[in-house]
């Protein structure tokens, strides 16, 4: 069921209050990707158990698979069923038009990422399109997130080692962050400090000192997000949340556990064709991943619903 404009604005107001609480109380909100209902249930159960606010997010491919309005309705239904504080984020949306559709559908958080579709997009293109989304989002109050360049990796399991010398060339800088925020008017800056999309055979390393310098120069009221949180040692999250990060994205860690657990329960039950009966084990495994992240982010007990 479509939300009224007043309902959408009420929700985006609460979302802005959540980000304000995160900044003031030094915790980060977990933003967890879904591509199926089972993962959504696992996130909801973790949020309910730990009384934590959460973001559910969907990328362009996940929107195409499930449907924009369907995702909105599913999330709303589970908010009521579990009595939790949960919001919707459009993750790495490659076009202005897709962002506008999500804003109209009542998504509280919007991530516009022009360089996702075009790695060679110019600075002018990225700023222009990001500004257009920021202006459009003012109608509902949705928070807009972006970054000035392509963010590496992919939300999958990788076998290759991390080439940190190459990655360091794309690190954010304090000067670049302030310039981009001033040029676009975004609410949330997606920082690159060693975080990388996907799960790798070696742990990721975050430059917390760089993060601190970025945080120190950000205008008041602005947020920092970290993408590519999977495969990161938990102590980095604890430090990052204390140094101004308000939102951390997790995807591959959940996908990996989902698939591995499902493969095992299918192998253990070769004659069971009602797969739904086997899914509770999968829920529990994914829920454990979400709970682990929530504890590291410092967001347990921070929900107000």
What residues act catalytically?
A: 91
Q: How many residues does the chain have?
A: 305
Spatial contact of 206 and 232, defined as CB atoms under 8 Å apart: yes
CA–CA dist 143, 27 (Å, integer): 18
Q: Give residues with Cβ within 8 angstroms of 130, minimum separation 6.
A: 112, 114, 144, 146, 184, 186
Q: What separation in angstroms does the CA of 260 have from each of 45, 157, 178, 251, 265?
A: 20, 12, 42, 15, 9
Residue 71 tokens, joined: 């995702």
Element holding 38 (H helix, E strand): helix 37-50
Spatial contact of 3 and 79, defined as CB atoms under 8 Å apart: no
- Residue indicated by tokens 């589970």: 78
Extract the runs of DSSP E, i.e. beta strands, from the chain: 29-33, 54-58, 86-93, 109-112, 143-146, 153-157, 188-191, 197-199, 223-226, 245-250
């Amino acid at each position: 069921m479509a939300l009224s404009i007043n309902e959408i604005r009420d929700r985006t107001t609460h979302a802005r209050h959540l980000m304000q609480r995160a900044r003031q109380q030094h915790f980060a909100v977990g933003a967890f990707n879904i591509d199926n209902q089972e993962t959504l249930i696992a996130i909801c159960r973790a949020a309910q158990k730990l009384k934590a606010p959460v973001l559910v997010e969907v990328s362009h491919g996940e929107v195409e698979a499930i449907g924009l309005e369907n995702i909105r309705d599913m999330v709303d239904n589970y908010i009521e069923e579990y009595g939790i504080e949960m919001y919707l984020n459009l993750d790495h949306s490659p076009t202005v038009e897709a962002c506008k559709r999500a804003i109209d559908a009542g998504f509280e958080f919007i991530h516009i990422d022009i360089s996702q579709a075009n790695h060679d997009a110019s600075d002018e293109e990225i700023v222009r399109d990001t500004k257009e989304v920021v202006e459009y989002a003012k109608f509902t109050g949705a928070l807009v997130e972006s970054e000035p360049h392509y963010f590496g990796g992919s939300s999958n399991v990788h076998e290759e080692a991390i080439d940190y010398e190459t990655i360091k060339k794309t690190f954010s800088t304090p000067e670049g962050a302030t310039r981009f925020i001033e040029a676009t008017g975004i609410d949330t800056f997606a920082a690159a400090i060693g975080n990388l999309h996907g799960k790798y055979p070696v742990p990721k390393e975050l430059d917390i000192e760089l993060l601190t310098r970025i945080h120190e120069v950000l205008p008041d009221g602005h947020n920092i997000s970290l993408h590519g949180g999977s495969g990161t040692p938990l102590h980095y999250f604890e430090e990052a949340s204390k140094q101004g990060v308000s939102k951390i994205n997790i995807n591959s860690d959940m996908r990996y556990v989902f698939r591995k657990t499902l493969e095992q329960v299918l192998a253990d039950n070769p004659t069971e064709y009602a797969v739904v009966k086997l899914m509770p084990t999968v829920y529990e495994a994914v829920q454990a991943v979400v709970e682990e992240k929530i504890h590291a982010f410092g967001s347990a007990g921070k929900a107000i619903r």
